Structure 1
Amino acid sequence: MSSRRTRRTSRPVRCARAIAVACCLQAAALSAAPDAAARQSGPAEVTGSQLAAAGAAVLRADVAGTAWHADAARGRLVVTADRTVGAGDLARIAEAVKAPAGVLEIRRTAGRLTERVAGGDVIVGPGGVRCTVGFNVEDSSGARYALTAGHCTATPGTWSIGPVAGSSFPGDDFGLVEYADPSTAEGGVRGPGGTLVDISAARIPSVGERVCGTGGVTGARCGTVTALNATVNYGSGNIVYGLVRTNLCTQPGDSGGPLYSGRFALGLASGGSGNCASGGTSYFQPVVEALNAYGVSVF
């Protein structure tokens, strides 16, 4: 009798233990499930090609005022939208990027995304005339301008960055274009490879000095100052005095471009002969004269 009772009581104990073990296992499985789900939705599930496809979709949505980049580590395409982008624009982007789920991340940035213009960048004037920014400058009130060649700004009108504010040509060869949007004016000049060279002061160059220049057509090149106070007769009464002569090459479209050495602004491209395939000689308007004439400084 007692043995039968023992057997009867031992069976539920074993079952209870079995049930307890099963419950524990089930609880462990349930507690592990969220981690597994997190792993499944993590960056490993989003491939580089999927991120590229998402970026292409944002490009096709064509919403001005946006920028985007792939964050491969997090498996996200991060889209930054400026203040001009409305809710409807964001909805258009979200509609364009449908897969994979959760890949899109929207961020806001203050202000407005605009192109930056520095020394060495091309600007376009009335009639499609193309010249190059020499140096960005500002006056005592904080108004910002681009210094360029005077023969570029000789005809009044509005350029791609704003209206002509001053011009001196012939005799000298410098002009001033005011920025319609001052926030687009970037300090410095474009150097080799598009790097930004900081310019913080201006001075007169010296003969034999190693100098560099940047043109909207030729890009960045370096050479030597070969003479000062040169005079050039361009014809039709257009004579310019007091120019810096160099062995740098320039081409049409480079007019107004910067001449610099280290952090110093030196001159603005006026004209030249030859080309960058065979070499050439170029002349630059001393920038100190232009800065003094307009009461502005480089930044």
Structure 2
Amino acid sequence: MSHKRIPKRNAAIAAGGVVALGAAAFLLPNANASQDNASGATTAPKTLKATQASDLSSQLQSLLGQAFAGAYFDSSKQQLVVNVVNGDNNVIVQAQKAGAVVRQVANSTSALQAAAATLKTKATIPGTAWAIDPKTNKVVVSADSSVTGSKWDTLESTVQGLGSNMATLKKSSGTFKTLVSGGDAIFSQVAQGTVRCSLGFNVTASDGSPAFLTAGHCGVAAKDWSDSQNGQPIATVDQAQFPGNGDFSLVKYNDATTQAPSEVNTGQQTVPITQAVDATVGETVFRMGSTTGLHDGQVTGLDATVNFASETVPGGTDTVTGLIQTNVCAEAGDSGGSLFTQDGGAVGMTSGGSGDCTAGGETFFQPVTTALQATGATLGAGGAGAGGAGASADPSATASDPAAGGDQSGTGTATGTGDQSGTTANGTSSKHHHKKG
């Protein structure tokens, strides 16, 4: 791939990977609009796109109130399945008339949230994570390979104390870690070496200036960012959140005339990014990262809590809440990269996970909607959005070897200048493709 340079004011660094070493799937044409089943019966489940299912789920949550116990998208049937607890016939009929498949379940949303709160109090252990799974109507608790001995015993007894019908416990491969190292790769030089992350989505800051979103642990690790490993900084961290309630950074371009097109270029096609959307359990999503390129998978949980082992505080824990859980693979260097839908919805930025793109794993993402609300930035308007990435998505290629980069994050919340506490990142180089906006 050629290394094309254009004047700085027109540079548009990209969301997603510039060298796709493995692509799980091509993006498909947009699905047809929502329509009732052929029978035309008012109670027949509607055929929906995932974004439409998300909207319907929100509407039914308000309609059903305490009877609503979660929902998920059945991608094989393209239907929304809504859990109802203690629902009378009137409640069920209302949900069915709205077009959902109704399922009676035992655990209410409040009961599942109480179980998650117990886990937070009794089992905040590095290497653990949990999220409510509407498909099983339980809290799914994950423990990585570092959770052993007394830590495992504590976690196991806590889960058992919640009841067999309330939570399940599973082992995850590898260890949960933030994936800093190389969406276009972005770089920063700190005292400990090179920090390498991925750009998520270009946005417009509240003051009208061009900016982009990436992972919060990247913004905490370094203040100034470049689009080449040893290049001059082109953007500066404005806000960063990690750990705590989220993992996101707003980074402003130093040149106010920087063009930021609202698109993700997968190498096979360019996907216009038109809006920020909430994730729905069961929907198919796509992730771009400069280490591993294009990969896809499904959303498996919402409002996930992840307990990363801190590399800046010995024995400490960096707990992050409010994340999206998926089975999409990722590796070191993919942090901050774009998670999006086939029809142009910006869903999230890569936070961390376990496993790799050879054996698979689970990955957590910062919701874009939450990051936009917190930073005051906007997406997809006035030329803002996700930048184009010149990825070569080859479905016959294999994923790269697992990178050994660890957690590059600092601790605390950075506002304004960020924090220079990152550790040395994987220095693997990445080609760049610049594109006029």
In structure 2, the partner of 1:123 is 186
In structure 2, the partner of 1:137 is 203
Measure, in 1, the Cα distance between the counterparts of 2:197 and 2:11.
17
Measure, in 1, the Cα distance between the counterparts of 2:257 and 2:296.
30
Give SS of 2:235's match. Answer: coil
- Higher helix proportion, which one? 1
Q: Offset of 1:280 from its aligned partner?
A: 1.3
Indicate which of 256, 265, 281 corresponds to 2:336.
256
Higher Rg: 1
**What's the TM-score once normalised by structure 1's chain length?**
0.60
1:247-281 CA-partner distances (Å, limit 9, x unpaired): 11111110011111121111110001110111111
In structure 2, the partner of 1:168 is 241
Matching of residue 284 in structure 1 with residue 365 in structure 2: yes
Q: Offset of 1:192 from its aligned partner?
A: 2.9
**1:113/1:292 Cα in 2 relative to 1: closer, same or farther (>3 Å)?**
closer
Aligned pairs (5 A) from 1:1-299: 114-119=10-15, 120-127=183-190, 128-160=194-226, 161-171=234-244, 172-193=246-267, 195-235=269-309, 236-261=316-341, 262-299=343-380
* Aligned amino acid, residue 186 of structure 2: I
Q: Offset of 1:218 from its aligned partner?
A: 0.9
Say whether the 8 Å CA contact 1:224–1:246 is kept in structure 2. yes
| CA RMSD between the two structures | 1.9
Q: Offset of 1:237 from its aligned partner?
A: 2.4
Q: How many residues align?
A: 191
Larger RCO, structure (CA 8 Å, separation 6 or more): 2
Measure, in 1, the Cα distance between the counterparts of 2:224 and 2:321.
27
Measure, in 2, the Cα distance between the counterparts of 1:176 and 1:290.
8
* Aligned amino acid, residue 275 of structure 2: A
Give SS of 1:221's match. Answer: strand
Say whether the 8 Å CA contact 1:179–1:185 is kept in structure 2. no
* Aligned amino acid, residue 247 of structure 2: D
* Aligned amino acid, residue 376 of structure 2: G
**1:126/1:194 Cα in 2 relative to 1: closer, same or farther (>3 Å)?**
farther
**1:281/1:184 Cα in 2 relative to 1: closer, same or farther (>3 Å)?**
same
Measure, in 2, the Cα distance between the counterparts of 1:274 and 1:164.
29
Give SS of 1:290's match. Answer: helix
Say whether the 8 Å CA contact 1:121–1:215 is kept in structure 2. yes
Structure 1 stretches (4+) deviating beyond 4 angstroms?
A: none
1:169-200 CA-partner distances (Å, limit 9, x unpaired): 00110001111124444323434326432111
Say whether the 8 Å CA contact 1:191–1:214 is kept in structure 2. no
Say whether the 8 Å CA contact 1:190–1:197 is kept in structure 2. yes
**1:285/1:122 Cα in 2 relative to 1: closer, same or farther (>3 Å)?**
same
Say whether the 8 Å CA contact 1:122–1:130 is kept in structure 2. yes
Measure, in 2, the Cα distance between the counterparts of 1:164 and 1:293.
15
1:220-253 CA-partner distances (Å, limit 9, x unpaired): 1111101111111002221111111111111111
Say whether the 8 Å CA contact 2:351–2:364 is kept in structure 1. yes
Identify unmatched segments of 5+ residues in structure 2.
Answer: 16-182, 227-233, 310-315, 381-437
- Higher strand proportion, which one? 1
Say whether the 8 Å CA contact 1:191–1:220 is kept in structure 2. no
Q: Offset of 1:155 from its aligned partner?
A: 3.5
Measure, in 2, the Cα distance between the counterparts of 1:228 and 1:287.
13
Give SS of 1:154's match. Answer: helix
* Aligned amino acid, residue 249 of structure 2: G
Give SS of 2:208's match. Answer: coil
**1:285/1:145 Cα in 2 relative to 1: closer, same or farther (>3 Å)?**
same
Measure, in 1, the Cα distance between the counterparts of 2:347 and 2:330.
16
Measure, in 2, the Cα distance between the counterparts of 1:178 and 1:218.
26
Say whether the 8 Å CA contact 2:9–2:258 is kept in structure 1. no
**What's the TM-score once normalised by structure 2's chain length?**
0.42
Measure, in 2, the Cα distance between the counterparts of 1:274 and 1:144.
34
Identify unmatched segments of 5+ residues in structure 1.
Answer: 1-63, 66-81, 83-111
Measure, in 2, the Cα distance between the counterparts of 1:209 and 1:201.
17
Give me the identity figure in percent. Answer: 43
* Aligned amino acid, residue 283 of structure 1: F
Give SS of 2:267's match. Answer: helix
